[in-house]
Amino acid sequence: MNGSSFCIKGHFVDTPVLGKVRLRTNHILVIEDGKIKDIVESKNFDTSSRKNLIDYTTNPNTNEIQFIFPGFVDTHCHAPQFPNIGIFGNTTLLDWLNKYTFPLEHELTFNMDKAELVYKNAINRTLSNGTTTIAYYATIGKRSTELLAKLCLKMGQRAFVGKVCMDVNAPEYYSETHSECIQDNKDLIVSIRDMNRKYHKDKFVEPIITPRFAPVVSKETMKCLGDLSALHDVPIQTHLSETFNEIDLVMKTFPECDNYTDVYNRYGLLTNKTVLAHCIHLSEEEASLINEKKAGVSHCPVSNSSITSGECRVRWLLEKGINVSLGTDMSGGYSPSILKTARQGLLVSRHVAMKTSDEVGDKDKLSTNEVLYLATKGGAEVLNLEDKIGTFDIGKAFDAQLIHLGNNTNVDLFEWQVPSENVDNEDVFMDKWQDVIDKWVFLGDDRETRHVWVDGLRVK
């Protein structure tokens, strides 16, 4: 199943370089078999030879401007936790897990009817917020994980789907043995890849090895999971350095290790295919180790603010050369929207800036263009999908969202019409576009996301 062939006329906005927006107004994208075949200025395009040309430059009802942006990439999301959105009270990580999270995940491990409803809702909500690629944690259960993978395939969301692994120090009702964990992971690598092959000729939904976090995974299990990842070329996702209590627990459990990051490294889980959620309280040595191993970071600012975990120093990570992306971390986070996560990422960076001296502090602030990069190309890099998604370039998949800024932004802006051909003053033109993009980042939500395409197929 792949997207059909068609052409789209529109204003294309993307972020191929950190901090910079690339704007291609009045361009035509030629899409064949779900992939971008060509990108040309509309004035150089012979439309008479093309059927299936759709014009998205303005909204047909209001004549207001629209633009097309790459689909968002959510590099950290717990699908079974969606019913708990907004429910965290004053808890912090470890009591939040025990009070809210483990009981719900446990239920969805065996109640497949409820799991199906919850997963469909998670996929629908993230897709309608423009998330075209996502890395999911399912539950500890194999069937429950297979169900999530199957629904992603059916509903058309590009995804990594992982069975949560936890074989020690977990509540008795929600734990597994070492051998169950390894066998289930072996089975899932085969079954998810088989499932994918039925729908797609290339990788669309993929397995991901998911040791929940060091406190609940035995050393032997970590080691075997690392071996499985290497043997079958499967990525890994886990949590790292989210709260101080968690770090204390890890250092008590693994006294032989230099620090939390060293635990994953020593037991074979820190690789260039590893996605590390949070990474808030890292030391210089830990950041250097992550950079050396080329693992990627999923920054989850909504979650980190909600369950009071801390403020990730994104600029500090980026300056070390580490790839950083964004994660909703539902339901540690309360919003399935990567746009809102980007907005909160921008604010958290300003909190970091307020704590450092004026001169240094300004440097810590992230711009709207930078958080949009983290939301798209940054995510593609962390998931090793930069050849496939993240920007509009020839050869990549057409994973995109059509954005129309409606009443909840500022309609005055739309008295401005984009000239159909030459632009008189490039700078003024670019400033106006920057205003449009900034308004979207600060005021937008899923009402602005009119259409969503994954691999050339309309899914919203």
- DSSP output for 278-342: E--S--HHHHHHHHHHT-EEEE-HHHHHHTT-----HHHHHHTT--EEE---BTTBS---HHHHH
Provide the β-strand partners of residue 12.
24, 68
Q: According to CB under 6 A, which residues from 286 to 315 bind ligand GUN?
A: 303
Give me the least distance between CB of 243 and ligand GUN, in Å please: 9
Distance CA 451, CA 456 (A): 11
**Site residues (CB under 5 A) for Fe ion?**
329
- Minimum CB distance to ligand GUN smaller for 10 or for 345: 345
Distance CA 41, CA 325 (A): 31
- Minimum CB distance to ligand GUN smaller for 29 or for 97: 97
- Minimum CB distance to ligand GUN smaller for 31 or for 138: 138
- Minimum CB distance to ligand GUN smaller for 56 or for 213: 213
Cα angle for residues 240, 343, 373 (degrees, 5° grid): 75
- Minimum CB distance to Fe ion smaller for 15 or for 298: 298
CB atoms within 10 A of CB 183: 13
Sheet containing 236-240: order of strands: 236-240, 274-278, 296-299, 324-326
336 binds, among Fe ion, ligand GUN, none (CB under 5 to 8 A by kind): none
Give me the least distance between CB of 105 and Fe ion, in Å please: 11
213 binds, among ligand GUN, Fe ion, none (CB under 5 to 8 A by kind): ligand GUN
CB atoms within 10 A of CB 412: 7
Burial 289-306 (b: 16+ CB within 10 A, else e): bbeebebbbbbbbbbbbb
- Minimum CB distance to Fe ion smaller for 243 or for 349: 243
Give me the least distance between CB of 106 and Fe ion, in Å please: 17
306 upstream amide cis, omega within 30 of 0:
no
Distance CA 343, CA 348 (A): 9
- Minimum CB distance to ligand GUN smaller for 211 or for 390: 211
93 binds, among Fe ion, ligand GUN, none (CB under 5 to 8 A by kind): ligand GUN
The 8-class DSSP code of residue 140 comes to S
Type of residue numbered 388: K
Helix (H) or strand (E) holding 134: strand 131-137
Give me the least distance between CB of 56 and ligand GUN, in Å please: 37
Given 239, 273, 315, 460, the residue binding ligand GUN (CB under 6 A) = 239
Q: Which stretch binds ligand GUN (CB under 6 A): 93-101, 259-267, 289-297, 419-427?
A: 93-101
14 binds, among Fe ion, ligand GUN, none (CB under 5 to 8 A by kind): none
286 binds, among Fe ion, ligand GUN, none (CB under 5 to 8 A by kind): none
Provide the β-strand partners of residue 21.
none
Distance CA 446, CA 426 (A): 30
Give me the least distance between CB of 213 and ligand GUN, in Å please: 4
By CB under 6 A, is residue 212 in contact with ligand GUN? Answer: yes
101 binds, among ligand GUN, Fe ion, none (CB under 5 to 8 A by kind): ligand GUN
274 binds, among Fe ion, ligand GUN, none (CB under 5 to 8 A by kind): none
- Minimum CB distance to Fe ion smaller for 210 or for 449: 210
Annotate each residue in 308-347 with x if it binds ligand GUN (CB under 6 A) or - if it does not, as one string. ---------------------x--x---------------
Q: According to CB under 6 A, which residues from 95 to 124 bind ligand GUN?
A: 97, 101
Distance CA 299, CA 440 (A): 21
List all residues 6 or more positions away from 44 whose beta carbon is below 8 Å from its beta carbon: none
Give, in order, the Cα–Cα distances in Å from 346 to each of 13, 306, 375, 442.
19, 15, 12, 10
Give me the least distance between CB of 306 and Fe ion, in Å please: 12
331 binds, among Fe ion, ligand GUN, none (CB under 5 to 8 A by kind): none
- Minimum CB distance to Fe ion smaller for 76 or for 343: 76
List all residues 6 or more positions away from 1 whose beta carbon is below 8 Å from its beta carbon: 199, 200, 457
Residue with tokens 């069975």: 163
77 binds, among Fe ion, ligand GUN, none (CB under 5 to 8 A by kind): none
Q: Which tokens go with 305?
A: 């603010």
Given 36, 73, 79, 93, the residue binding ligand GUN (CB under 6 A) = 93
- Minimum CB distance to ligand GUN smaller for 27 or for 78: 78
Annotate each residue in 69-88 with x if it binds ligand GUN (CB under 6 A) or - if it does not, as one string. ---------x----------
Query: Which residues are near ligand GUN by CB under 6 A?
Result: 78, 93, 97, 101, 212-213, 239, 242, 303, 329, 332
